[in-house]
Amino acid sequence: MVNGALVWPDKVTICEVGLRDGLQNEKRIFSVEEKLQLLNAVVGSGVKIIEVGSFVHPKAVPAMADTDKLVQAMEKVGGVEYRVLVPNLKGVERAHASGINKVKLTVSASEAHCINNFNKKPLEMMESFHECVDFVAKNNMEVSGAISTSFGCPFQGKVPVAQVKNVVREFLKLGITELSLSDTTGMANPRQVFELGTHMRKTFPQVKWVMHFHNTRDMALANIVAGIQSGITTFDGAFAGLGGCPFAPGASGNVSTEDVIHMLHEMGIDTGINLEKAMATARLAEQLAGHQASSAVLKAGRCEDLTKQHVSRQNNK
């Protein structure tokens, strides 16, 4: 807001998380070769930040068991940030051994969710992050943080803002200043997103904020607009709207990357990503997954396509 008027940003950054969050809950396990196809397509569309997988126990998330092979096989393109999600020191060590230099540590803001999945409260779980940060520092790696269930929890319901702030403070004590507020089960609403985003930016101005939305209840695009209105300009998306968290009941797909790009471009906001190529990536993901995903722009086409069709019909009369 400037003098009471809303000023839209010139550019918004989109992080592609389809290779991790998009594939981890699919019934079909994608091969390394198929993941490489998708990764190359993502890079070719102009995406500059990509979460290529996670280093978690293979029994917990079988779809991510070959992340090290993917990292070792991929061609690293200059100017593109590649990262992986990790839960602990073992994950950080595997990331380093595979050759990736940025990791994201994740913890739930909800005590109920954290206890249900890890048998620990959030702050107890974060105690182990100290050794992760030490390893990162000694090995010239980068680290960011993700706060899942920031807006709501399938076990607890609404998560108090105070709980989210407590986790933020612990991340800051670790020296981690890039943090993602994640709507793990799609429980957020635009007013909540605007108010939490505004409050967090004001309370913790040193943090580079990211927002991560699932489209479980069809509010993800509205939530992104609310996030932008709060002053946040970096968001996660997943090709074709694939995804879901295996540890959170009811967590359906992520917001579709190509839907976000289409919306922002229609609003006059640049993403640096080629929409047609992003849509081609999504079609490839649907083909490999063997089912239609939730992407609206793949089903309906771009707004400009409808206009072109109308003009073409008029010219042919």
Bridge-based pairing of strands 49-54 and 208-213 is: unpaired
Domains in the chain: boundaries:
13-315
Share of the chain above pLDDT 90, in %: 82
Instruction: Please determine, for residue 245, whether its predicted confidence score (pLDDT) is greater than 90.
Output: no
Q: What is the mean pLDDT of residues 125-142?
A: 97
Asked about 114 being catalytic, the answer comes back as no
One DSSP character per residue, 115-184 reads HHHHSS-HHHHHTTHHHHHHHHHHTT-EEEEEEETSS-BTTTBSPPHHHHHHHHHHHHHTT--EEEEEET
pLDDT over threshold 80, residue 1: no
Spot the catalytic one: 15, 114, 153, 245: 245
Q: Which CATH architecture has domain 13-315?
A: Alpha-Beta Barrel (3.20)
Nearest to residue 85, comparing CAs of 220, 223, 243? Answer: 243
pTM for the structure as a whole? 0.93
pLDDT reported for residue 118:
79
